[in-house]
Amino acid sequence: MDYLEELEQTSIYILREAYANFKNLAMLWSVGKDSTVLLWLARKAFLGHVPFPLVHIDTNFKIPEMIEYRDHLALEWGLNMVYGENREALESKQTYPDGAVDRITCCSLLKTQALRQTLDASGPRYRLNHETRSYEPDTNSEAYTGVIVGARADEEGSRSKERYFSPRDRQNEWDVGDQPPEFWNQFKTDFAPGTHVRIHPLLDWTELNIWEYIKSESIPTVSLYYNQGEGTRYRSLGCSPCTEPIKSDAHNVDEIIEELANGKLSNIAERSGRAQDAEDGGGLESLRRGGYM
């Protein structure tokens, strides 16, 4: 078994543990490379199915191609696709692109708060109807008690401290200093009422592992990750006003793997194209403590 297979088998084990232990389980799908690999691993774990909803937080500022790709795969793979948004903030134009707030506040409104409201069902949820091929209000108004997330430990400092099963309190907050222990393959699957658990099956994967796995499984990815002839590509995807592509000649998966393996990008942080990180004192910590992925 090579290490990629080992990572895969461990992630499948974690996904199955999550499914066996949480009644109201959901998986966050940002449409980025990591959570798409996660989605693929779920299809592996559940023999071609994804037996829980996939939740996407739509900031309304995502690069349009991402939304097209999301709905295309959702229809093709028969996914139970749900999206949520912070309608209030969007309607009152409390966003960075509208010039009303700074980047961090925008993130916390359109992502963190939208996520919180979608998870506990206090905000709107829209579910894809596979017959009409359009979204309609979701009738399920139960809070999700287990949320599967594609965070990786090597992305930046605060993520490296996560557990595979990480509890969040009623306010979605993360108490980094007081996390329950996790031994061997025994995880925190018992939780007090009102709290929920974030599940991180990709914690031990690196950016290179992700691309190697995309290659070995031929997982479809959004074309924004590749150089389309402009000499640039996106390394990490987010909202269009706050995400910049990097300089790169990589046209396809093989070239990205080569680029990463040869250390061409080793001096540049993976999320360096994400403007909100820089505003948060060089890390995502403040955002993450409040529930940001």
Partner 1 sequence: MSPEKHKTQMNIVIAGHVDHGKSTVIGRLLADTKSLPEGKLEAVRQNCERNAKPFEYAFLLDALKDEQAQGITIDAARVFFGTEKRDYIIIDAPGHIEFLKNMVTGASHAECALLVIDAVEGVQENSRRHGYMISMLGIRQIIVLVNKMDLVGWDEAVFNRIKEEYSAFLSEIGTGAITYIPVSGTEGDSIAAPGENMDWYKGITVLEALDRFEKEESIDGKPFRMPVQDIYKFTSLGDSRRMIAGTVETGSAAVGDELIFYPSGKRSRIKSFEGFNLPDVQTRVSQRQATAFTLDEQIYIRRGEIAAKAVEPGPRVSSRLRVNLFWLGRRPVKPEHEYLFKCGTLKIPARVEEISRVIDASTLKVQQSCRQIKRNDVAECIIKLKKPAAFDIATEFEGTGRFVLVDDYEIAGGRIIREDLPDSHTEIRDKVFLRNFKWEKSFINPSHRAERYNQKSHLILITGGKDTGKKTIAKQLEEQLFNDGKYVYFLGIGNVLYGVDADIKRAGVNGTTRREHIRRLAEVSHLLMDTGLILIVTAMDLTQKELEIIKTVVEPENIETLWVGEKVSTDINYDFCFDDGRAADEACEIVIQRLQERGVIFKVW
Residues forming contacts to partner 1 in the complex (CB under 8 A) are 1-4, 6, 8-9, 12-13, 16-17, 19-20, 43-49, 51, 78, 153-154, 156-158, 160-161, 163, 176-177, 179-186, 188-192, 203-204, 206, 208, 212, 217, 257-258, 261, 266-270, 272, 281-283, 285
Cβ 124 to partner 1 shortest distance, Å? 25
Min dist. Cβ of residue 9 to partner 1 (A): 5
Q: Residue 20 or residue 23: which is nearer to partner 1 going by CB?
A: 20
Which of 114, 151 has the CB closer to partner 1? Answer: 151
Nearer to partner 1, 35 or 80 (CB): 80
**Could you tell me the smallest distance in angstroms from the CB atom of residue 222 to partner 1?**
20
- In the complex with partner 1, which residue's Cβ is closer, 231 or 282? 282
Minimum distance of partner 1 from residue 100's CB (angstroms): 27
* Least distance (Å) between residue 265 CB and partner 1: 8
Cα 138 to chain centroid, rounded:
21
Least distance between partner 1 and beta carbon 91 (Å): 34
Q: Looking at beta carbons only, is 9 or 94 nearer to partner 1?
A: 9
Distance in Å, CB of 53 to partner 1, minimum = 13
> Which is nearest to 223 in space by CA: 56, 49, 72?
72
- Residue among 94 and 272 whose Cβ is closer to partner 1: 272
CA-only gyration radius of the chain, Å = 18
- Measured from the CB atom, is 45 or 55 closer to partner 1? 45
